[in-house]
Structure 1
C-alpha cells in the first residue's frame, strides 16, 4: 500500500501500548490532489475496552466500516495518500466534533465546553459512542471523565492534526485538495420514497462541501460501473465532510457510503466473493476521478492562454 507513517502511541488510554492509533499511507510521490480518509474501518479492539463492554466481540463490531481501508488501498499506487484509523469507531468516533459527549456516560462532570446537546449525542453516537448499530449499549458501567478526555487528547486530536496537515500539504502542492471520506452503510438502508437499496451514496452537504462538478462526476462514474447511486440522502456527510469542505478556497470534501451487502456478510463479518470486484471498481472510480480533475485543470489552463 506504499509507505505508512505510524504515530507513536504514547497514550494514557487503554488503546495505547505498542499499537499506533492510525496509519498514513503515502505514495512514493504524491501526484494527485486527492486525500482519501477511512475513519471508521479500525478493527483493533483493546482487551481493556472489551472488558468494559457488555457486548461480545462480534456484536461490538456492528458499527465498523468493514474493510473500507482495504477497498480503497489502490489509491496509494495511483498517487494519493490514504489515512486509516486502526482504533474502532465504538471506542472513539473522529467523525464528530471533538467534545460531543453524553454526560450520562461519565461518573463526573464534563468540562463546560462539551457539546452535550447535539442530536448525535442524543442518539448515543457522540465522540465517545454509547451505542453501536441496532441500539446496543456498549458499556457495563460509567466511564471516568479522565478516560474520555484522554481518548480525545491522545487520539482524536492527533488524527485530525494528521488529516489537516495532509490536506494542507496537498493544497499547497496542487492549488486544490479533494478529500474523499470513505464509509460503509448497512445493506438494508433505503432512500425515502423508494424501495431500491442504493449501492453508493455520495454526500456533499447538499453542495456546501464540494463543487457540484465533483459530486456529479462521482455519481456519473459509479453509475457507469453499473451501480445504483444517490446523492445526500440519507447521508449528506458528517463532521469531517462539513469541517474540511471549503470549495470557495479550493478545499473540496465528498463522503462516499458503500452498501456492505456488496462485499461483506453482515452476520459473520467475513468478506464475500464480491469484495475483489468492488475493490477493482473502486480503483477504477478513483482513477476516473483523478483523470477528470486533471483534464479539467488542463482545460482551464488552455482557456487562460
Structure 2
C-alpha cells in the first residue's frame, strides 16, 4: 500500500523494518528562484537512493520518503538547532551552504526565523509524523522494529572529513540507538563483502537515528551512509554541473546492492529473533 502527497510518500509493508529516505529529494519547491543555481541546490542530494533500495519492498519493508531537497529543509537535523557533530562542519535545518561551503542563496541575508518555522511546519513536521505513525503501526505487529536511515555522500569532501570515506558507514549513535546485536549483524554483512566499512566513524547517525532509536522501547535505529563510488561512477576531483550527478546504472550498482540486501535481511532477522 502506498499513500502519496505531492512530496511525501509512504509505502507500507508488514516486516519489522522501516526505511527512512530523507535526502534523495530534488524538489526545490517555491525556493528555487532564490538559490544561486538549481544544480548547486541539488548537488548534495543522496543521489539514486530510491533506486538502490527499491528491492526493500519485496522484503516487506515500509518506506518513508520525501521528494523535497535537503537544501529547502533537512528533515534529518535537530530542529532545535543543536549540532549533531559539535566542533565539526555540518549543515543546518535550512542549509545556507553546500557541503563544500559554497553559499546556496543569492541573497546573503540569513533566512528569517519565521521562514524556517514555516518550512518546518510544511515539510519537517509531516515527515516525522509519518515516521511516528509507521513506527507505531509496526510496533503493534512486532515486539521489535528496526528503523534504518538511508544515506549516501560523495567519497571525498575535505570540508567534512579527511581522505576517502569508507564504503559503508554505519551509525548507532555510539551504541545508544540500537541493541549491539543489530549493529554487529549489519557490520558483519559489510565486513564479509570485502568493501571498506566502519561503525560510528565520521557519521554516527543523524537526528532520525538519535531521536527514534529507543532500544528499551523496542525501536532500534541504525544509519547507513554509503560512499557514492560503490554504486555510481564518481568523478575524480571536483564536481560540476557537467559531471555530477552521474546516471544510475543498475549493473554497476548490483554488487553493492547485494550487500545491502544482506544488511536489510539481517535487520529483519534481528527484529524477529527471540529477545534475551
Shorter chain as denominator, the TM-score bin is 0.7 to 0.9
1:132 aligned partner: 98
- 3-state SS in 2 of match to 1:134: coil
CA-CA distance at 1:284 after TM superposition: 3.2
1:66 aligned partner: 47
CA-CA distance at 1:144 after TM superposition: 4.4
Quick check: 220-229 or 79-88, which moved more?
220-229
2:23 pairs, out of 40, 45, 57, with: 40
1:291 aligns with 2:242: no
- 3-state SS in 2 of match to 1:230: strand
Greater RCO, CA 8 A, separation 6+: 2
Matches within 5 A, 1:32-181: 32-46=15-29, 48-54=30-36, 56-100=37-81, 123=89, 125-141=91-107, 142=109, 143-181=111-149
1:282 aligns with 2:260: yes
Is the Cα contact below 8 Å between 1:38 and 1:84 reproduced in 2? yes
Distance 2:86 2:244 in 1: 28
Quick check: 151-160 or 137-146, which moved more?
137-146
- 3-state SS in 2 of match to 1:58: helix
Which entry has the higher C-alpha Rg, 1 or 2?
A: 1
Is the Cα contact below 8 Å between 1:96 and 1:126 reproduced in 2? yes
Deviation digits for residues 215-235 of structure 1, max 9, x if unmatched? Answer: 000000122222211110111
- 3-state SS in 2 of match to 1:36: strand
Flag structure 1 segments of 5+ consecutive residues without an equivalent: 8-19, 101-114
Quick check: 170-179 or 86-95, which moved more?
170-179
Is the Cα contact below 8 Å between 1:178 and 1:252 reproduced in 2? yes
Distance 1:120 1:152 in 2: 22
CA-CA distance at 1:40 after TM superposition: 0.7
2:245 aligned partner: 269
CA-CA distance at 1:147 after TM superposition: 2.7
- 3-state SS in 2 of match to 1:131: coil
What TM-score do you get using the length of structure 2 for normalisation? 0.85
- 3-state SS in 2 of match to 1:268: coil
Deviation digits for residues 50-69 of structure 1, max 9, x if unmatched? Answer: 21011x23222222111112
Question: Measured at CA, do residues 198 and 51 of structure 1 come closer, stay the same or move farther in structure 2, by a change above 3 Å?
Answer: same
- 3-state SS in 2 of match to 1:37: strand
Distance 1:120 1:42 in 2: 26
Distance 1:165 1:283 in 2: 25
CA-CA distance at 1:96 after TM superposition: 1.2
CA-CA distance at 1:118 after TM superposition: 8.0
Matches within 5 A, 1:11-26: 20-26=6-12
Flag structure 2 segments of 5+ consecutive residues without an equivalent: 236-242
What TM-score do you get using the length of structure 1 for normalisation? 0.78
CA-CA distance at 1:124 after TM superposition: 6.3
1:215 aligns with 2:183: yes
Quick check: 78-87 or 123-132, which moved more?
123-132
1:184 aligns with 2:182: no
CA-CA distance at 1:119 after TM superposition: 6.5
Distance 1:76 1:26 in 2: 8
- 3-state SS in 2 of match to 1:175: coil
Is the Cα contact below 8 Å between 1:73 and 1:82 reproduced in 2? no
RMSD (Å) for aligned C-alpha atoms:
2.7
